[in-house]
Chains A and B, each alone.
Chain A
Amino acid sequence: MSKVSTEAPVIKTGAQSHEVRSEDVTPLQVLSPDGEVVNPERMPKLSDDQLKEIMYRMVFTRTWDDRAVNLGRQGRLGFYAPVSGQEATMVGSEYALLKEDFICPGYRDMPQLVWHGLPLYQAFLYSRGHQHGGQIPEGVNVLMPQIIIGAQILHATGIAMGFKLKGEKRVAITYTGDGGSSEGDFYEGMNFAGSFKLPVIYFVQNNGYAITTPFAKQTAAQSIAHKALATGIRGQQIDGMDVLAVISAVQEAAEVGRNGGGATLIEALTYRFRPHSMADDTTKYRTKEEEQEWNLRDPLVRFGKFLEKKGLWNEEDTARVKEEAKNAVNEHIKKAEQTEKMTVAGLIDSMFETTPAYLEEQKADFQ
């Protein structure tokens, strides 16, 4: 006779209850807003030159954002999603990767692509609506910015599976915003990664708003990081205005992934100082007080203070980088503007490896 248990089946939840519970999380922080190291164990190992390089990239990105907004107003750029305020998440998370790691960006994540190797003029071409903007150079491991919020999450999952199948010690990282965490693809991607134990990092830049919709309207979950619980992957929350916390968290997640430990969801708390897009008006849904409060957490100010105390950075350095960035933007926007115009025939030929007869016929109308 076999024994049949009369007790209710047990599903382990971590809590002594039939309800799934979880603890509050505290965002990982390495630097205080005053630039003091508050968490020395999590301080990434970085040389002075590396620290300066990170600051260089953040100042460069802020200046590029300033210029891009102006270029947009002049009609010299098209679609553009501002990034000011998110330099720590963007620059820091890319800096924590290796060049062979793969980035699947959302539409706001152009800085990660550029720092991973996409030439700046191609970023401008993407903004202007030119196909060459998406012709990623060989050896630069990124996809084009993704407009369909959530789609890139699944691509990163598939790419990570490719790395695992080939036995390569590489990770894929993908980005979305707080609004994106409500998409089905967000859950599906993390769930697949959990099931297959894939080397992938789901990096959510929670800037508090999805266009005009505040985070509180996206979910009643305690945090986005908590959503990892549903899929069995690691979940973390970090201070997204602290570049060293970002680097520490991403380096750790990448190591976990490379060593077969599976995926990590990182929720970075950040803020965009500018509107969602050039067509957005923040005065309709944000308060001055809120903006001022977040300005005090400006990642450039915080990291700048830290570097100044170490004697690695000063105001002249910032001014010099701004000048360099302006010159680079000028040079690259010119290059973008001088890029050969596209033709309909060229577009037709880029649809398939071999252009089928019906498209050849349609091409004739445009030659």
Chain B
Amino acid sequence: MAQMNMKEAIRDAMRVELKRDPNVILFGEDVGKVGGVFRATEGLQAEFGDTRVFDTPLAESAIGGLAVGLGTQGFRPIAEIQFVGFIYEALDQMFVQAARMRYRSGGRYHAPIVFRTPFGGGVKAAELHTDSLEGLAIQTPGIKVVIPSNPYDAKGLMISAIRDNDPVFFMEHLNLYHAFRDEVPEDDYTVPIGKAKVVREGKDVTILSYGLMVHTSVKAAEELEKSGISAEVIDLRTLLPLDIDTIVASIQKTNRAIVVQEAQKTSGAAAEIIAQINEKAILHLEAPVLRVAGPDTVYPFAQVEDAWLPSVARIVKSVNQVLQF
């Protein structure tokens, strides 16, 4: 066991897989010698050489296309898009070409690719560095969407993502890269894609969340406990496939739920989660499922970010609304 922050855990996952499987290759803008703008790939080129870990020209669509082409030839590319807002340049390759490869070819080809990208607010970054674009991905048939919230999960999920024979969109929250350290095994282990985790048990209300908002939700749960309200917090970890069984099991117990996401209200995953709860657990609900989310504006200018992002206070308010419904 070692103490690692989430960035180090992700790097360790890539190192483990680069070592284990010679077909794993890693590339993107500035990921080689320097080891990425966040040093998430630091030391990997020195350890594995510049044919396994290499820099590319600055062109996201071509990075995506390179991954798709290499994927047809037996490679397992990990392609980094430097910041989430730049995936728009690569959307065709990620969400059309990679996501449809198995289907279009009737299984003849597939796309065993991990598209890594940092995202997420609260770090006063420049425009288009922090938007929550997971909602685009979950509307894309053929790609899986993973968002870890802690070092242990990040490593296990990244190893699962690299070993998955279908494309995975792996979103790494900027605010969690260095937020805290956890015990992380140094050898390889996996956390299954498609499985949520109950991070805090409770009986009065279920708070469903992912990414940084898991931590904000836990803080809100601690706040609620002071008023005698017992909130169960679930870290979804994977948005597609969604672990609806864990969600329903929790709602059967609490009969109330809210979804907390950093994305704007009509983006992200909340609406889909609520729709699935309506389909699977309506008779267990004592109140409608509410959303705590960013307002439907363009992602805020840095100076107003803290007020814009979902807060403990807004989560507490939302929980009280469903409890008093």
Contacts and interface: CB of A to CB of B under 8 A. Distances in A.
A356 B65 CA distance: 26
B107 A350 contact: yes
Interface string B148-166: 0000000000000000111
Interface string B97-109: 1000011111111
Contacts of B281: none
Interface in B44-72: 51, 56-57, 59, 61-62, 64-72
Given A157-B62, A185-B62, A144 B102 contact: no
A182 interface: no
Interface string B230-250: 000000000001101100000
Given A151-B97, A185-B62, A191-B59, A161 B102 contact: no
B69 A155 contact: yes
A157 B102 contact: no
Interface stretch (A17-25, A82-90, A128-136, A308-316): A128-136
Nearest to B194: A356
Contacts of B59: 188, 191-192
A185 B59 CA distance: 9
Contacts of A172: 69
B241 A356 contact: yes
A184 B57 contact: no
Interface string A149-170: 0010111111111110110000
Interface of A: 104, 131-132, 134-136, 138, 143-144, 148, 151, 153-163, 165-166, 172, 184-185, 188-189, 191-192, 195, 347, 350-353, 356-358
B142 interface: yes
Given A350-B107, A352-B102, A161 B69 contact: yes
Q: How many interface residues does chain B have, given as a range? A: 35 or more
A132 B103 CA distance: 10
Contact of B105 (A134, A191, A356): A134
Nearest first, the 7 closest Cβ-Cβ pairs linking A and B are A158-B69, A154-B65, A162-B73, A135-B106, A188-B62, A158-B66, A356-B241
A76 to B, nearest CB: 21
B93 interface: yes
A159 B72 contact: yes
Contact of B65 (A158, A162, A166, A350): A158
A157 B104 contact: no
Interface in B132-158: 141-142
Contact of A162 (B64, B75, B165, B244): B75
Interface of B: 25, 51, 56-57, 59, 61-62, 64-75, 92-93, 96-97, 102-110, 141-142, 164-166, 194, 241-242, 244-245
Given A155-B97, A161-B66, A144 B141 contact: no
Contacts of A138: 108
Given A134-B104, A163-B73, A350-B102, 12 more contacts: A135-B107, A135-B108, A148-B97, A154-B68, A155-B72, A156-B69, A159-B70, A160-B69, A165-B70, A188-B57, A350-B103, A358-B244
B247 to A, nearest CB: 12
Nearest to A346: B106
13 contacts: A131-B106, A138-B108, A154-B62, A154-B64, A158-B73, A161-B66, A162-B74, A172-B69, A350-B102, A353-B165, A356-B194, A357-B194, A358-B244
Contacts of B104: 131, 134, 144
Given A134-B105, A151-B96, A350-B106, A358 B241 contact: yes
A185 B97 CA distance: 13
Contact of B166 (A135, A158, A195, A352): A352
B259 to A, nearest CB: 17
A143 B109 contact: yes
Contacts of A104: 69
A188 B62 CA distance: 6
Contacts of B75: 162, 165
Contacts of B109: 136, 143
Contacts of B92: 148, 151, 185
From A135, A148, A161, name the one whose CB has the most chain B CB atoms within 10 angstroms: A161
Contacts of A143: 72, 105, 109
Contacts of A158: 65-73
Contacts of A156: 69
Contact of B241 (A161, A189, A357): A357
A195 B109 CA distance: 27
Contacts of B74: 162
